[in-house]
Structure 1
């Protein structure tokens, strides 16, 4: 415990206490606890110390927060996930990742915008996860598997998954994040000329009206780009227009049909009716509004405050939630990394072959028993004749 709570030291043995960009893990988990979610306060302190160790020992980390916990088949090896923003977008793509069409690191709203670190020892050590590939995201949709806690473990599933458990974990993190990351409607602002979306400098926090916040479709927006189920990307590739007098290729026709069934939804897009129905809302504590008066330039300014919290829980991804209160909102996930509903199966192998017992009891052949009985009867008869 002392090792977990101790501050990291530099080469000269001085403690590293400066951790810029580190989120208030204890405060965020306290807000989640008020809604019956999150981790206990003691574990929150341990995780906060582990994140401080990550920020102070890893170069290029500008922001870091506790993303959540992915449960494994043994509680002692659950994955603690840290979400970090890196200077320059993080590690560049490798040639293999570029050939696979991976999204550029650092692109706001993309699946590789954040760099994720994983720990299985309560934050003593952190290991970065690789960039996620579109094929891995598409394949992870067909996989429903409880993780083992070993990042190098093979993924034995059907359909097959090309990668180890670390790639599957990273793909499921991307799916969960892009499906459940909601932000208030005024959290981002869109530039009128370029159309680019960026953080809104005038954002002042969550509304104090719980009824307003509880409306998923009206108040909340997508915090990241939506992942297309068919290809694991955030956008459809461009379809080449046929030349004059030529017909479209069957592949182009097929892609246009898929684009009509599932459209791309960028960051800051409104929540649709079907998606909004997949969230449940609940008010915790005293959600009534109380009037406050402040003296501003000699005049009394009236404002409202509420002391309750509101939780939004995803029914598609059990364990994913957004809790709003005290003027802020917090995202969390604690679950097995599996989407609700049917789908995915594990190809089981043959059962264990039993060993042959060392000693097998033998018995007489029942066909020989009548002959033996007749012999015994003749012997008895002969003795009586004498």
Structure 2
């Protein structure tokens, strides 16, 4: 049986006026550049283009069309570079391509499947799956808890009542729980907020917090992002009488610490070291609970369903130091804050200080919604530093969206400003009580020269100050106001965004308004953050002619000094002799 003829490649049709040539195409003089009749061919390019596989292994002078072989060193270097590239580990799985190919070829040679090229993708998946296969026991597989299952278990407690029943109960009594979903709806008009699922979980978490703590008012403050975990923050006010009990507990712990220090001081009185003349700056006490920067109490949790943790009260030293540093949150309240100047506390204290700063600068309300109560002694309060209490205005008439957006004077701050001292109300550290003053009158007379000049009282802007008085920075206003939509202005919502604290927003619609924060907890700075430099090193001793060592005189200076000294002595002796002769003459 005759074999079928081989298929011949199509022959090129010669152009008119030309005879077909049987010669091979001419090659260039440089054999490293093969001939290519394809359109767009440029001399100087090899068979591999940058976008084609194998381009990294190509070197000039060596290609399938060349008869020259590169040097041994260049070939060895190319192989080393290729192997080093294949040995790079993946940032996702931690594997490298070289080991993966070795395992694949080993598996193919050991099993020798038919048509291995058709199932090479399945072999690759099997090799990868074997790397991440969990350890097996002889009796049963190891139980693996998925993150989604763990999260669902934490959220499961939010949907159950205290007795385990899932049937809802009708609650007619007033509750401090706000309508978080309604607030989220208004912020959603401007594209601000969390997902509906997470917002509802936070809603249930706040309800669980209210059922456990004796809370009078509660509000979803916002969410601060962290490197490992985030913080969900609730702003609450305790019922009357509850704050006093907590303050007494804190005082007891402070007294016990002071007693321990006194006992240690008594033990150390036996061998007293030299006392230092350094006088530390006076300690500024923190504001009492329910006033100033500690007006509200804050609870935080990492995720809805996890237990709420109460943050400690903030101190002026923590606020002052927080203004000088900038640290990202980790999500762990017990994490140390490594910075300079050193922060007095851990991440829980730093978080509380940032919350106080953000609240003082971004908590705003429409003008006229709050008013000062009419009480006696208002003039005295204004002289002492302004009023710190306000109440809702029952006769408040809501402003239109256009009025809320056009002018910054339509919004006011309803949280006290924090002074440079770290308090909302200024405190004189050198002011002493009458008993202490009588005992230390004599000591003060001796130390008047050492005491610094009297500090000037700091006075910040009063409550309910309009936003038009906020200072901008580098031609950027402190606030940006805009409606939620320009297409349907009659149903728009007024939205304000803080430029000093990115992530702070406020909305107003009729008589409803609220503030919220979503961000990293950092204040915007147009320049890069520069850490504070350490203070200059203190001099060991005062410099002066009596202490500073003089340079040794030269030989000529020393000889001149001795000659002058001898002349002075001779002159003094002559004067003494003349005086003695005069005295003898007077006696005669």
TM-score of the two chains, using structure 1 as the length reference: 0.73
Q: 1:343 to 1:213 in 2, by over 3 A?
A: same
In the TM superposition, residue 338 of structure 1 has moved relative to its aligned partner by: 0.8
- State which of 138, 153, 158 in structure 1 corresponds to 2:335: 153
User: Is the Cα contact below 8 Å between 1:119 and 1:127 reproduced in 2?
Assistant: yes
Is residue 42 from structure 1 mapped to residue 197 from structure 2 by the alignment?
yes
1:66: Cα distance to partner?
A: 0.8
If each structure's helix is expressed as a fraction of its own residues, which one has the higher value?
Answer: 2
Q: What are the Cα deviations for residues 152-172 of structure 1, in whole angstroms up to 9, with x where unaligned?
A: 000011111010100000000
Partner of 2:322: 140
How much is the aligned-residue C-alpha RMSD, in angstroms? 3.3
Q: C-alpha separation between the residues in 2 aligned to 1:233 and 1:248?
A: 29
Partner of 2:502: 318
2:483–2:492 contact (8 Å) kept in structure 1 = yes
Asked whether the 8 Å contact 2:497–2:506 carries over to 1, the reply is yes
User: 159-168 vs 189-198, which deviates more?
Assistant: 189-198
Distance in 2 (alpha carbons) for counterparts of 1:344 and 1:328? 41
Write the deviation string for residues 234-266 of structure 1: whole angstroms up to 9, x where unpaired.
1223587xxxxxx9987345x32xx5xx63223
Q: Is 1:62–2:205 an aligned residue pair?
A: no
Partner of residue 375, structure 1: none
Match of 1:275 in 2: 471
Are 1:194 and 2:377 counterparts? yes
Counterpart of 1:79? 231
Gaps of 5+ in 2: 1-151, 256-282, 379-386, 432-447, 534-588
Distance 1:23 1:248, change over 3 A: farther
Q: Is the 8 A contact 1:62 1:87 kept in 2?
A: yes
2: CA distance, partners of 1:331 / 1:14:
33
Q: 2:311 aligns with which of 121, 125, 129?
A: 129
Deviation, 1:16, is 7.6
SS in 2 for 1:146: coil
- The DSSP-based 3-state class of the residue aligned with 2:358 is helix
Q: 1:250 to 1:42 in 2, by over 3 A?
A: same
Q: Where does residue 424 of structure 2 map in the other structure?
A: 234
Q: How many residues align?
A: 317
1:284 to partner: Cα distance: 1.3
Cα distance change on mapping 1:185 and 1:156 into 2, 3 Å? same
Supply the distance in 2 between the matched residues of 1:139 and 1:64 (Cα, whole angstroms).
29
Aligned to 1:337: 521
Q: Which residue in the other structure is 1:251 paired with?
A: 452
| 1:325, distance to aligned residue in structure 2 (A) | 1.9
Q: Which residue of 2 aligns with 1:6?
A: 159
CA gap 1:106/1:194 in 2 versus in 1, 3 angstroms: same
1:32 to 176, 183, 187: 187
Pairwise CA distance, 1:140: 0.6
Aligned equivalents of 1:265, 1:127: Cα separation in 2: 33
> Structure 1, unaligned stretches of length 5 or more?
241-246, 290-305, 348-386
Deviation per CA, 1:213-254, whole angstroms, max 9, x where unpaired?
A: 5422x21222111001x21111223587xxxxxx9987345x
Larger Rg: 2
Distance in 1, Cα, partners of 2:187 & 2:491: 14
Measured against aligned partners, the alpha-carbon deviations of 1:354-386 in whole angstroms (never above 9, x if no partner) come to xxxxxxxxxxxxxxxxxxxxxxxxxxxxxxxxx
CA distance 1:65–1:10, change in 2 (3 Å): farther
How far 1:192 sits from its partner (Å)?
6.0
2:294 is paired with a residue of what secondary structure?
coil
Q: Secondary structure at the match of 2:452?
A: helix
State the shift of 1:4 in Å. 5.2
Choose the corresponding residue for 1:101, options 285, 288, 293.
285
Partner residue of 1:171? 353
What is the distance in 2 between the residues matched to 1:115 and 1:17? 29
3-state SS of the aligned residue for 1:111? helix
- The 8 Å contact of residues 186 and 507 in structure 2, kept in 1 or not, is answered as yes
CA distance in 2, matches of 1:288, 1:12: 45
Aligned in 2, Cα 1:92/1:139: closer, same or farther, shift over 3 Å? same
- Using the TM superposition, name which of 7-16 and 322-331 deviates more: 7-16
Q: Does structure 1 conserve the Cα–Cα contact (< 8 Å) formed by 2:159 and 2:166?
A: no
- Which residue number in structure 1 is paired with residue 104 of structure 2? none
Report the Cα distance in structure 2 between the residues aligned to 1:327 and 1:31, rounded to whole angstroms. 13
Could you report, residue by residue, the CA deviation over 1:118-139 in whole angstroms, capped at 9, with x for unpaired residues? Answer: 0012243211101111111111
Indicate the larger mover: 197-206 or 65-74: 197-206
2:400 to 203, 208, 212: 208
Work out whether residues 32 and 330 of structure 1, in 8 Å CA contact, stay in contact via their aligned partners in 2.
no
Query: Residues 366 and 508 of structure 2 are in contact (CA less than 8 Å); yes or no, is this contact kept in structure 1?
Result: no
* Greater strand content: 1
Residues 1:249 and 1:79: Cα distance change in structure 2 (over 3 Å): same
Q: Is residue 2:206 matched to residue 1:51?
A: yes
